């Protein structure tokens, strides 16, 4: 089990009379990118806070980087909270060094690394200005740099993409991949499926405080049958009996789940009935569709517009 960066079992957390987290378990192999997906209010943030030791669970246990008490692993963890927080009067350089110092990095070393990190991120000119004068996106970048300045082995990012424009989202994806290439483990939560689909090897889908799915992205998609998209020349005929009962029709476009015995019997009936096949496509379901199926309610697919 030594190769698990995060391990949790049966976590339960009450807020007053509500069970915000209800028996969630999680296993994140070291060196992987793991996504925690779920609709708003599913318990993602509470789960991350439980894992980090900001909250203690009423029931269940967790082990972070081999430590039963997450606070002991704190110097090796980087955490970007959903609600970003920096002291507005501090300069980016000082803020990054301060965040590093909280995790045990000597202040002088933190300042030196901060200067280099800011330079790399194209914020060299802003390094000595108070954070309150920076744009929101810049401040967010500063906080992210403060999260990685002490070279953590585990990065926990809560909704890291929210509030970023497309360019910065791309940059963040690059940064996450670079951290993993250096041997770190990344655990992040999101309600935007596209990021998880691009980045993650494994995902955990959470809804209403419980785990709905845990596994690879491919396995999540495999839970749904492929969809068949068909366009015929004829609108009606005896061949229609060969289509599954739940097929939806719009004019001459048909859509239905791939039958268990394959597409061939349907094709034979269509050819025999002279339906006239214009287009035919068998599509794997997207993670988005799998997610909706798992969670039982729709979520927005498009990337969040910068707030």
Partner 1 sequence: MNRLLAAAWVIARRDYVATVFSRIFILFLATPLFPVLFGAMFGAIGANQDHSAPHRPVVALIADAPATRALAEAHDRLLARLGDDVLPDLAPMPPMPDDAARALLRQRGRHYVAVLGGSLAAPRFLLSSRAPDGTEEGVSLLVDTARAATALGQAAPKPVDLGHRTVRAGADDEPSAGDRVGLASGAQTGLFVLLVMLAGMSLSTFIEEKSNKVIEVLAAAVPVDAIFLGKLISMLAITLTFVAVWGAIVGIGLVAVKPAMLAHLPVPAVGWPAFCVLVVAYFVGNYLLLGAVFLGIGSQAGSPREIQVMALPVTMFQLLLYGLAAAGTGHPDGWVAWAAAIFPWSSPLAMLARAAELPAIWPHLLALAWQTLWLVVALRFAAGLFRSAVLKTGDTRPWWKRGFAAQ
Which positions lie near partner 1, rule CB under 8 A? 14-16, 49, 52-56, 58-59, 71, 74, 77, 79, 81, 83-90, 98-99, 101-104, 107
- For residues 102 and 281, which CB has a smaller minimum distance to partner 1 in the complex? 102
Q: Which is nearer to partner 1, 1 or 85 (CB)?
A: 85
DSSP string spanning the chain? -TTEEEEEEEEEEEETTEEEEEEEEEEEETT-EEEEE--TTSSHHHHHHHHHTSS--SEEEEEETTBSSGGGGGGGEEEE-SS----TTS-HHHHHHHHHHHTT--HHHHHHHHHHHHHHTT-GGGTTS-GGGS-HHHHHHHHHHHHHTT--SEEEEESTTTT--HHHHHHHHHHHHHHHHTT-EEEEEES-HHHHHHH-SEEEEEETTEEEEEEEHHHHHHTS--EEEEEES-S-SGGGGGS-TT-EEETTEEEEEPPTT-SHHHHHHHHHTT--EEEEEEEPPPHHHHHHHHHSS----SPPPP-
Provide the minimum distance between the beta carbon of 206 and partner 1 in the complex, in angstroms, as a whole number.
19
Instruction: Pick between residue 19 and residue 240 the one whose CB is nearest to partner 1.
Output: 19
For the sheet with 4-15, list strands across it. 18-29, 4-15, 59-64
Which lies closer to partner 1 via its Cβ, residue 13 or residue 191?
13
> Do 127 and 118 contact (CB within 8 A), yes or no?
yes
* 83/261 with CB nearer partner 1: 83
Report the relative pairing of strands 77-80 and 154-158 from DSSP bridges: parallel
Least distance to partner 1, CB of residue 82, Å:
8
CA dist 155 and 33 (Å) reads 9
Question: Which CB, 260 or 307, lies closer to partner 1?
Answer: 307
What is the closest distance, in whole angstroms, from the C-beta atom of residue 29 to partner 1 in the complex? 22
Q: Considering beta carbons, is residue 108 or 282 the nearer one to partner 1?
A: 108
Q: State the nearest-atom distance from the C-beta of 86 to partner 1, in Å.
A: 7
CB of 165 to partner 1, least distance (A): 22
Toward partner 1, which CB reaches closer, 158 or 197?
158
Rounded to a whole number of angstroms, the minimum distance from the CB of residue 101 to partner 1 is 4
The minimum distance between CB 103 and partner 1, in angstroms, equals 6
Decide if 176 contacts 199 (C-beta within 8 A). yes
Least CB distance from residue 20 to partner 1, whole Å? 9
């Amino acid at each position: 089990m030594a190769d698990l960066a995060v391990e949790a079992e049966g976590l339960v957390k009450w807020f007053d009379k509500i069970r915000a987290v209800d028996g969630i378990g999680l296993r994140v192999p070291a060196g992987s990118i793991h996504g925690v997906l779920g609709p708003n209010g599913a318990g993602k943030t509470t789960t991350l806070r439980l894992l980090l030791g900001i909250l203690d669970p009423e029931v269940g246990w967790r082990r972070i980087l081999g430590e039963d008490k997450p606070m002991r692993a704190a110097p090796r963890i980087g955490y970007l909270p959903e609600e970003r927080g920096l002291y507005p009067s501090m300069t980016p350089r000082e803020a990054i060094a301060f965040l590093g110092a909280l995790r045990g990095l000597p202040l002088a070393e933190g300042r030196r690394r901060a200067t280099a990190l800011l330079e790399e991120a194209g914020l060299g000119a802003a390094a000595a200005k108070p954070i309150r004068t920076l744009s929101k996106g810049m401040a967010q970048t500063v906080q992210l740099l403060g999260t990685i300045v002490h070279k953590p082995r585990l990065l926990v990012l809560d909704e890291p993409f929210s509030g970023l424009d497309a360019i910065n989202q791309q940059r963040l994806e690059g940064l996450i991949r670079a951290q993993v290439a250096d041997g770190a483990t990344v655990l992040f939560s999101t309600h935007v499926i596209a990021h998880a689909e691009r980045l993650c090897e494994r995902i955990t889908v959470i809804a209403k405080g419980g785990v709905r799915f845990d596994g690879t992205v491919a396995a999540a998609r495999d839970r749904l049958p492929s969809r068949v998209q068909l366009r015929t020349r004829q609108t009606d005929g005896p061949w229609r009996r060969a289509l599954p009962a739940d097929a939806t029709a719009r004019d001459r476009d048909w859509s239905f789940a791939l039958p268990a015995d394959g597409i061939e019997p349907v094709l034979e009936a269509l050819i025999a009935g002279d339906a006239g096949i214009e287009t035919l496509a068998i599509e794997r379901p997207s993670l988005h569709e799998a997610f909706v199926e798992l969670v039982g309610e729709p979520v927005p697919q498009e990337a969040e517009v910068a707030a």
